[in-house]
Amino acid sequence: MTNSSESLEPLSVSLSPQERFEEYLQTRGLRQTNQRKFLIDAVFQEHDHFDADELIDRLPRRGEKNYVSSATVYRTLREFVDAGLLKSFQLDGRTVYELDYGYPQHDHLYCTVCRQLIEFQSRELMSIRDDVASEKGFRVSGHRMIIQGICRACGKLRRKKRKQDLV
Amino acid sequence: MTNSSESLEPLSVSLSPQERFEEYLQTRGLRQTNQRKFLIDAVFQEHDHFDADELIDRLPRRGEKNYVSSATVYRTLREFVDAGLLKSFQLDGRTVYELDYGYPQHDHLYCTVCRQLIEFQSRELMSIRDDVASEKGFRVSGHRMIIQGICRACGKLRRKKRKQDLV
DNA sequence: TTGTATGCAAATAATTTGCACCAAA
DNA sequence: TTTGGTGCAAATTATTTGCATACAA
């Protein structure tokens, strides 16, 4: 689990994720299927970070109504990323997804103890990014910044534990 | 391949990587084996970024002198990271390694066309990192910043190609 | 001598892909 | 009707692990 209790508020956007995806599909001659509609709802009920496995776990099982095969889940998650609805990145080997469409750009702190992702925003970070890139003649398409460490809560637990160990 | 033509110069350090690793092994009661000695030399002949597969490709094959099984390569790379000789991170799904011991801390620009990694250093980035972390009560152990985009060379090629396409 | 380390092959884990069948447009 | 989409199972890929054997301390 990488759910974060500290997530950012959605922005207001003119199209809903569903509408936005519809537009994406239409401009490419792709189809609106029940699976895609169902998955977009499932995904935008998420508030935080998730991976394919966690998502599949919360979806109907084989045989149940609205079952979607995992191959389709994987395929569709990639489409959502292409469509700009989700962002994805790698963490501890697995692919983590988060809502992108309608959410402000941000980066993450990652607690290596509880594996929680905490979001933060920094304008300065963006401007450093752009300065560095232009200095190297680089056309930026995006970036990924993750600060690893130990969060406040886990830090407290550790200190408590060390104290106990001394007793 | 993710070799970069623009890498940073080594710092001067009091112990060689070999000595440093020896120290690491001794303090933990681990053993100095021929494989470990051979691999540390092989790895520190690298100047840039590599993954396990690329390293194995340049190593002696099964049956040849100094052959090291890939299981051992994987195991040893992780030890090198533990020992602080190498750093590792994930890129496009695979684990990329780079020299750490004796090299200055830095981050990367990643060209999504030629897959080259270009290094850069920024003090400001570090200070933003520390500010953000302390604001959230986070004890930092490290970070990873990758700026994605298109490098100068690939940008030129693209423009040239577009021109040609118009003819 | 006493564990550690290694090589081998098998096991994992997370995705991806081939293909026959299904269903939007 | 046509072509893209889906489910299923098999294939992939990168890595890890179990275990018998080899070797450093």
B138 reaches A (C-beta below 8 A): yes
Q: What is the CATH number of domain B104-167?
A: 3.30.1490.190
At A31 the pLDDT is 97
At A4 the pLDDT is 44
- Strand C atom within 7 Å of A106 CB: no
Asked if B112's CB is within 8 angstroms of A138's CB, the reply is no
Per-residue pLDDT tens digits for A11-43: 777 899 999 999 999 999 999 999 999 999 999
Q: Could you identify the residue written with the tokens 């470990």?
A: B36
At A102 the pLDDT is 93
The CATH architecture one would assign to domain B12-103 is Orthogonal Bundle (1.10)
Q: Which of B49, B142, B145 is nearest to B97 (CA)?
A: B49
Between the CA of B159 and the C1' of D22, what is the distance in angstroms? 59
CB distance A77 to A99 below 8 Å: no
Burial A14-53 (b: 16+ CB within 10 A, else e): eeebeebbbebbeeeeeeeeebbebbbebbbebebbbbbe
Between the CA of B65 and the C1' of D21, what is the distance in angstroms? 19
At A159 the pLDDT is 82
Please name the residues between 87 and 106 in chain B that touch chain A, using a CB distance below 8 Å.
90-91, 93
Identify nearest nucleotide to residue B69 by CA to C1′ distance. Answer: C7
Helix (H, G, I), strand (E, B) or coil at A147: strand
Beta-carbon contacts of residue B111 (< 8 Å; ≥ 6 apart):
A138, B117, B118, B149, B150, B151, B154
Q: Which residues of chain B neighbour A135 with C-beta distances below 8 Å?
A: 120
Say which of A93, A146, A152 has its CB closest to residue B137.
Answer: A152
At A19, the amino acid letter reads E
User: Binning pLDDT at 50, 70 and 90, where does residue A1 land?
Assistant: very low
Helix (H, G, I), strand (E, B) or coil at B101: coil
Per-residue pLDDT tens digits for B80-107: 999 999 999 999 888 999 999 999 999 9
Q: Which residues of chain B neighbour A143 with C-beta distances below 8 Å?
A: 145-148
Per-residue pLDDT tens digits for B20-34: 999 999 999 999 999
Q: What is the mean pLDDT of chain A?
A: 91
User: Binning pLDDT at 50, 70 and 90, where does residue A6 land?
Assistant: low
Q: Which residues of chain A neighbour B94 with C-beta distances below 8 Å?
A: none
Chunked into runs of 10 residues, chain B (167 residues) has average pLDDT values of: 59 88 96 98 89 96 95 98 95 92 95 93 97 96 95 90 76
Asked if A132's CB is within 8 angstroms of B122's CB, the reply is yes
At B2 the pLDDT is 43
- State the count of interchain CB pairs (< 8 A) between A and B: 108
At A67 the pLDDT is 97
At B107 the pLDDT is 97
Enumerate the domain spans of chain A: 12-103, 104-167
Per-residue pLDDT tens digits for A43-101: 998 778 999 999 999 999 999 999 999 999 999 999 999 999 999 999 988 899 999 99
B137–chain A nearest CA distance, Å = 5
Q: Do domains A12-103 and A104-167 have the same CATH topology?
A: no
Q: Which residues of chain A neighbour B151 with C-beta distances below 8 Å?
A: 136-138
Asked if A145's CB is within 8 angstroms of B144's CB, the reply is yes
At A68 the pLDDT is 98
Query: Across-strand partners of B120?
Result: B107
Say which of B129, B132, B149 has its CB closest to residue A138.
Answer: B149
